[in-house]
């Protein structure tokens, strides 16, 4: 059966207007604060304020629930555009849209949607708490426990590497409610920051995407009512797997945007930098380096948009999401590295923008499923056909 056509490279008028606003935001608000946010490892509050005011923290949340009422693909396009200037800002937007609001829209009850989605779209940052010290690629080796006592759930444990944790007011926390059942005991809980026993622990001092906070979460006898269970008890593994499949498309979008930003800088530099009496853009070696970057970015962009298309149309997309994340991370790694090389000694200093993008790119091969895990997923599905 033929697939429905989808314009992978042509955007509609609404998308063009949306991305024009994002570009303006990038240039007027983000870029002037870029170096300081990276140096201080802190997101500027004004940046976050504008993300909410522009409707970028609830892009595909229905309008009747306070969101922008757009699509998953619109969210992916916004993430790409944000990452051209600062992948840290793109990460904040990405986690909010592809993980947190996405999970609540898909798995939440009607009451949960009415309670949580309006605030997430308007003023509340969300965080997704799955990883632990012994639970990285082996995502279901959770030690955080949820025990049912006196009509409530009591959560105890530690979560690590939680993106948006410093700014977040709402957390999706995965815990095992029945360890004897293995991964089938895992349950997802909606936890507010001000819940007694809930603490923000160590903030990580990272190589890249430094303005995007990554923290430890400490749970000490955190009491949760039944109406804070997202989905069904024991079905948290489905929430995790299926949400992360969609989130990987967002990571692919981050990496495409980052690579495009690196190419933008490298192209401008090549036209300006003079050596041997002419701009280095006049040398074939430099031209070929830029052309290779451009071709790889276009290919990565199409893999990401294709995965988003399949997700929106209800088609199988797990393989495509894994390919998108894996390939886009490869491209970001290559393009950011090449940009540093084209800048020469200047590129190796923090006075020029490509050094930051080089550092930011490395996380693309690590979070929301490592490079090896994406290849494992691709191979598994390939061999199953």
Half-sphere exposure of 109 (CA within 13 A, CB side): 11
CA distance linking residue 365 with residue 378, whole number of Å: 15
Asked if 89 and 82 count as a contact pair (C-beta separation under 8 A), the reply is yes
Asked if 44 and 33 count as a contact pair (C-beta separation under 8 A), the reply is yes
Query: Closest Cα to residue 145, out of 184, 179, 189?
Result: 179
Asked if 233 and 153 count as a contact pair (C-beta separation under 8 A), the reply is no
In terms of Cβ atoms closer than 10 Å to its own Cβ (0-12, 13-18, 19+), residue 64 is exposed
> CA 21, 67, 228, 236 torsion: positive or negative?
negative
- How far lies 38's CA from each of 31, 205, 276, 329, in Å? 11, 11, 35, 21
Any catalytic annotation for residue 320?
Answer: no
Among the listed residues 81, 330, 355, 368, the single catalytic one is 368
- Specify the 3-state DSSP secondary structure of 21: helix
How far is CA 364 from its chain centroid? 9
Active site residues: 368
């Amino acid at each position: 059966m033929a697939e429905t056509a989808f314009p992978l490279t042509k955007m509609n008028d609404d998308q063009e207007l949306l991305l024009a606003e994002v570009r303006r935001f990038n240039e007027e608000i983000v870029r002037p604060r870029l170096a300081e946010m990276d140096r201080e490892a802190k997101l500027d509050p004004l940046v976050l304020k504008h993300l909410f005011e522009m409707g970028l923290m609830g892009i595909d949340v229905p309008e009747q629930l306070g969101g922008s009422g757009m699509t998953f693909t619109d969210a992916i396009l916004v993430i790409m555009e944000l990452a051209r200037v600062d992948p840290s800002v793109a990460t904040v937007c990405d986690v909010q849209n592809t993980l947190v609001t996405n999970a609540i829209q898909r798995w939440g009850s009607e009451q949960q949607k009415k309670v949580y989605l309006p605030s997430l779209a308007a003023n509340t940052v969300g965080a997704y708490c799955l990883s632990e010290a012994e639970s990285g690629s082996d995502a279901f080796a959770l030690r955080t426990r949820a025990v049912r006592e006196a009509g409530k759930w009591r959560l105890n444990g530690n979560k690590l590497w939680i993106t948006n944790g410093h700014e977040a007011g709402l957390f999706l926390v995965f815990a095992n409610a029945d360890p004897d059942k293995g991964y089938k005991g895992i349950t997802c809980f909606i936890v507010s920051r001000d819940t007694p026993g809930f603490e923000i622990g160590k903030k990580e001092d990272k190589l890249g995407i430094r303005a995007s906070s990554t923290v430890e979460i400490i749970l000490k006898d955190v009491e949760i009512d039944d109406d804070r269970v997202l989905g069904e008890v024991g079905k948290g593994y489905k929430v995790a797997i299926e949400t992360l499949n969609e989130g990987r498309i967002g990571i692919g979008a981050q990496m495409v945007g980052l690579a495009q930003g690196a190419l933008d800088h490298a192209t401008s530099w090549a036209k300006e930098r003079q050596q041997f009496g002419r701009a280095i853009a006049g040398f074939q070696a430099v031209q070929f380096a830029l052309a290779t970057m451009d071709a790889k970015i276009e290919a990565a962009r199409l893999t990401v948009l294709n995965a988003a298309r399949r997700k929106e149309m209800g088609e199988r997309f797990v393989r495509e999401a894994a390919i998108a994340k894996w390939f886009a991370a490869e491209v970001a790694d290559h393009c950011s590295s090449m940009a540093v090389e084209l800048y020469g000694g200047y590129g190796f200093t923090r006075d020029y923008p490509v050094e930051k993008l080089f550092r930011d790119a490395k996380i693309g091969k690590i979070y929301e499923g490592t490079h090896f895990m994406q290849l494992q997923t691709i191979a598994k599905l390939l061999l199953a056909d």
